[in-house]
Amino acid sequence: LSQYEPGSLKLIQKINHLIINLRNTTVFSAIVSDILHTVTWLEVREIAFSIPAEMQLLKVMSSSFAEKISFKQALFTDATVPEIVSILEDMPKLVEVQMIDCRLLGFGQWKMQIQANQSQTVRVLTIEKLSIEEFYLFTDLHTVEGLLSLLTKVTVENTKVFLVPCRISQSLLSLRYLDLSANLLGDQSLEHSACPGAWPSLQTLNLSQNSLSDLEMTGKSLFHLGKLILLDISQNNFVEIPDVCEWPKNLKHLNLSSTQISKLTTCIPTTLEVLDVSANNLEEFGLQLPFLKELYLAKNRLKTLPGAAPIPNIVAMTISRNKLNSFSREEFESFKKMELLDASDNNFICSCDFLSFIHHEARIEQMLVGWPDKYICDSPLAVRGAQVGAVHLSLMECHRTLMVSLMCALVFLVILILVAIGYKYHAVWYLRMTWAWLQAKRKPKRALAKDICYDAFVSYSENDSDWVENIMVRELEQACPPFRLCLHKRDFVPGKWIVDNIIDSIEKSHKTLFVLSEHFVRSEWCKYELDFSHFRLFDENNDSAILVLLEPIQSETIPKRFCKLRKIMNTRTYLEWPPGEEQQAMFWFNLKIALKS
């Protein structure tokens, strides 16, 4: 927005919330001039208050009747902060000031003293995620001490505050609510920030997500805050709690959640009405807190409900996400004033007697809330927030052991059936074949000439080794020129997986010579070699396979799953070992011709 016609927004009589997102201060000043008396909440975004000369254009804001002003993603400097403060202090109806995700360039060394009459209307100041790059060099803000006495609610969150100067704390005379969460306050800096006379009217203090580690020192630092009612020190790192602590005398609400504590002691003040110790490592709760009305114990390790005698006035209790597995009638009846109990996400053991007891307790039906999808006996009918009386469990749901036994038997039966089916239809063979095929697929289909080491890889049954090793090998390897044969006994690499040996040997050989016999068909490892040739050799439509029938064998004897091998035996010529010596000479001649082809 670069141009604005003056008077455009004057026609609107009342604007509850106006957001101005621009960087042109001239246009900004013109717009503000038109809505001085009509806007209730003015929100300014992404504007840079960095040039002191431009601040003259913004003085028109001093006459605005806005009750709340917000700065989001704005830029301030040491030179412009005094002017902004003076303008805000002069706004006659301003009650609340917000600064969210803004940047301040400087260290608080403001070039001119802030000279403004203290606003009689501003009561609320909120600063969230204010970025001060060198925050550790920031000054003590003594120039604004006189402007703070009427503030009742201050929030300075996630702004890297590590110290509140004592004089600033003492100047906050009317402050009732202070939020310093997600900062860098430690035990020593808190003691200095909460010095004697600091925050005399404070009722609520939020110090969560800081760097506090000493609970005794924290209580001692705040002891003088006589009007403090609510204290949030969650998400700090206390770990251990001492036996004795000092606390403000009127403290009624204490939040110690997510502080790594594993045991509660008498350090906890007895004046409490609300105590939150959820998300810790507690295994038991036995504190004597006679005035306690609300107790939050979620996400701990408790196995039993706390006793009712130490907390006789308890009205509401949250004990979800612990390790409770049951509770007795006596435990329930001891909580006379209990109106709300959240015990969801625990390890309740199914018991029909237990469920029946709860089902017939009208008061308990009303107080049990927040149950998860798995209700006491893992009922699928129960939903979060349902009353116990609305849940009706079947007989089987209350007999978990029987259900588990039946399920285990059913699973075992299904596995047995699957194994039988797999055995009948050669499932194991298909799995092995798939693995061998994947292994082969990762390699080139044809080995390079330099990688060929053998004339033929010989696949045969161990029962036919006498003929192969003593007759065939001798005939071929002593021929002129000799043939190089690959035999599994002699040439396989020791320690290497046998399937890899088979694959590598076939790939490093010109031919694959199968010595077929009844023994060969029944051999498990011969099946592997046939498997690979089935995928690797025959599918390539080459003639690298040579079949030698050592003895008469019917093609039907070969397993039906090798359909292509059976087809080759029916359609291609193969060599058959003859019994007569005269015919054997022709056999060797034909075999050598086949190996050389």
Residues 397-434: tens digit of each pLDDT: 667 778 888 899 999 999 999 988 888 877 776 776 67
In angstroms, the CA 39 to CA 66 distance is: 6
Residue 391 within any structural domain of the chain: no
The 10s digit of each residue's pLDDT in 209-258 is: 999 999 999 999 999 999 999 999 999 999 889 999 999 999 999 999 99
- Residue with more model confidence, 100 or 305: 100
pLDDT at 462: 86
Q: Which DSSP symbol is given to 483? A: P
pTM of the model: 0.63
Helix (H) and strand (E) counts in the chain: 19, 23
The 10s digit of each residue's pLDDT in 131-153 is: 988 777 877 677 788 888 999 99
pLDDT at 585: 85
The CATH number covering residue 498 comes to: 3.40.50.10140
- For residue 39, count other CB atoms closer than 10 A to its CB: 25
Residue 494 within any structural domain of the chain: yes
Closest residue by Cα to residue 505 from 522, 523, 528, 480: 528
Closest residue by Cα to residue 316 from 285, 292, 288, 300: 292
Residue 220 within any structural domain of the chain: no
Q: For the ranges 43-57, 415-429, 455-469, which has the lowest average pLDDT?
A: 415-429
pLDDT bucket at 156, cuts 50 / 70 / 90: very high
Residue 529 within any structural domain of the chain: yes
- Encoding tokens for residue 360? 């017939």
Q: How many domains does the chain have?
A: 1
> Do residues 382 and 375 touch, judged by C-beta distance below 8 A?
yes
Closest residue by Cα to residue 503 from 431, 576, 564, 451: 451
What 3-state class would DSSP assign to 105? Answer: strand
- Encoding tokens for residue 540? 């390539």
- For residue 191, count other CB atoms closer than 10 A to its CB: 15
Q: For the ranges 179-183, 342-346, 529-533, which has the lowest average pLDDT?
A: 529-533
Q: Is the pLDDT of residue 475 over 50?
A: yes
The 10s digit of each residue's pLDDT in 252-295 is: 999 999 999 999 999 999 999 999 999 999 999 999 999 999 99
What are the DSSP calls for 403-438, one per residue? Answer: HHHHHHHHHHHHHHHHHHHHHHTTHHHHHHHHHHHH
pLDDT at 331: 79
- Helical pair 400-424 and 427-441, crossing angle rounded to 10 deg: 70
In angstroms, the CA 354 to CA 360 distance is: 10
- Encoding tokens for residue 128? 């969230």
Q: Is the pLDDT of residue 71 over 90?
A: yes
Residue 526 within any structural domain of the chain: yes
Residue 264 within any structural domain of the chain: no
Beta strand spans in 200-315 (E) = 204-206, 230-232, 253-255, 274-276, 294-296
- For residue 572, count other CB atoms closer than 10 A to its CB: 10
Q: Which long-range contacts (CB under 8 A, 24 or more apart) does 110-114 make?
A: 110/78, 110/79, 110/81, 110/82, 110/143, 111/78, 111/79, 111/82, 112/82, 113/82, 113/143, 114/82, 114/85, 114/86, 114/143, 114/144, 114/147
Residue 360 within any structural domain of the chain: no
- Helical pair 427-441 and 498-507, crossing angle rounded to 10 deg: 50
- Residue with more model confidence, 554 or 82: 82
In angstroms, the CA 205 to CA 199 distance is: 10
What are the phi and psi torsion angles at 268 (to 5°)?
-65, 130
Antiparallel, parallel or unpaired: β 153-157 and 124-128: parallel
Residue at token pair 């920030």: 193
In angstroms, the CA 62 to CA 400 distance is: 74
Q: Is the pLDDT of residue 105 over 60?
A: yes
Residue at token pair 């029987």: 402
Residue 578 within any structural domain of the chain: yes
Report the share of the chain in percent with pLDDT over 70. 80
What 3-state class would DSSP assign to 54? Answer: helix
Enclosing domain of residue 562: 457-583
> Do residues 36 and 65 touch, judged by C-beta distance below 8 A?
yes
In angstroms, the CA 275 to CA 317 distance is: 10
The mean pLDDT of the chain is 83
pLDDT at 38: 95
pLDDT bucket at 444, cuts 50 / 70 / 90: low
